[in-house]
Amino acid sequence: MRFNPKARLDTSRVGDAGRGSGGGGLGRGGGGRLPIPGGMAGGGGVVGVIVVVVFIAIQLFSGSNAGGGLGGGGTGLDASRFNDTGRYTSCKTGADANRSSDCARVAVENSLRDFWGDELGSDFRPEEKVVTFTGSVSTGCGGADSAVGPFYCPSDQTIYLDTGFFDDVLERQLGGPDGGFVEPYVLAHEYGHHISNLLGTMGQVTGDTGPQSTGVRLELQADCFAGMWAKAATQTQDADGNVLFAELTQDDIDLALEAAASVGDDRIQKKTTGQVDPETWTHGSAANRQKWFGIGFSQGSIDACDTFSVPRV
């Protein structure tokens, strides 16, 4: 993975909340922690780091945000909930992105925004943001801490990410891959939830669990959308028409597939409890996560990623 050194980066939608304090449960009103397969999302254990957007969606769509959860706001980052540390102010060009993982994060966000803006056209609403943090952070869905893992909050249309997740959890605890295209895949997956939010499919989540549940279908759709973006990433551009990615190799795609498998429900349950209970799945098996990323990559269409219309995922 290499970025075009001449590309210009836009940092207006990416911010850093630094090290938080407190936190509390993630969800409407900052209530209790959210259940995930095999335990509770707390205590910093490996079980507590699974992305839990399905439960966020259930809580939000059961109330005043039903039907899409799209809030107002402008196109820039709203840092009213935190003091931005200025972590990304030095990210100016693709050359910076090649030298810095922070700036690479900005470049990936820029690429995702350009791709989905073109893909959705007038249906694209540019309120999406990315916020990194350490420890805990205040969100539109309530307080969250590092144990939750990367997630998308539909209430404020923001992707939240503790960047320590990749080394501390994905690699060391779950045995997933490190570096390269791993973080871009995760960001693309979370951005996929934003697209599901815009398209209204997030509103179809009912709170059921299991291999064919609506929650699993939502997660697999996000993987499919990530595959769509990965296929077209080298054609995405900055505001001046310069391509953002100079190169994306098969090794990069293989890393994304390996990362997708490492966060499959069956892999996580086997790693953490020694047993696999499909009826509690909320994100899908390792094989299905790879399958739907591949569908997005090979077919490259929103229709192909309609996980809610197929009999079985």
In a domain, residue 264? The reply is yes
Average pLDDT over residues 85-101: 97
Secondary structure (H, E, C), 151-178: EEECCCCEEEEECCHHHHHHHCCCCCCC
Is the pLDDT score of 204 beyond 60? yes
Give the distance between the most distant pair of CA atoms in the chain: 52
In a domain, residue 32? The reply is no
In a domain, residue 33? The reply is no
The helix-helix angle for 214-232 and 53-61 (nearest 10°) equals 120
Judged by average pLDDT, the poorest of 59-63, 120-124, 259-263, 278-282 is 59-63
Average pLDDT over residues 34-59: 34
Which DSSP state fits 224? H
Is the pLDDT score of 39 beyond 70? no
Query: Degrees (nearest 5) of the Cα angle 154, 89, 189?
Result: 30
Q: Which residues pair with 142 in a beta bridge?
A: 26, 139
Alpha-carbon span 139 to 55, nearest angstrom:
15
In a domain, residue 29? The reply is no
State residue 87's pLDDT score: 97
pLDDT tens readout for residues 68-91: 322 233 456 766 667 899 999 999
Residue 49, token pair as written in the block: 């780091």
State phi, psi for 188 to the nearest 5 degrees: -65, -35
Alpha-carbon span 296 to 305, nearest angstrom:
6
Query: Degrees (nearest 5) of the Cα angle 23, 91, 194?
Result: 50
From start to end of the chain, where are the E strands?
Answer: 2-3, 14-19, 35-36, 39-40, 129-134, 136-139, 142-145, 151-153, 158-162, 245-247
pLDDT tens readout for residues 149-184: 899 999 999 999 998 887 777 767 777 777 789 999
State residue 126's pLDDT score: 66
In a domain, residue 247? The reply is yes
In a domain, residue 157? The reply is yes
Alpha-carbon span 87 to 110, nearest angstrom:
16
Range of the domain at 178: 2-17+42-305
In a domain, residue 22? The reply is no
Alpha-carbon span 29 to 52, nearest angstrom:
16
Is the pLDDT score of 54 beyond 50? no
Average pLDDT over residues 212-229: 98
Alpha-carbon span 134 to 18, nearest angstrom:
6
Residue 225, token pair as written in the block: 């959308």
Domain tally for the chain? 1
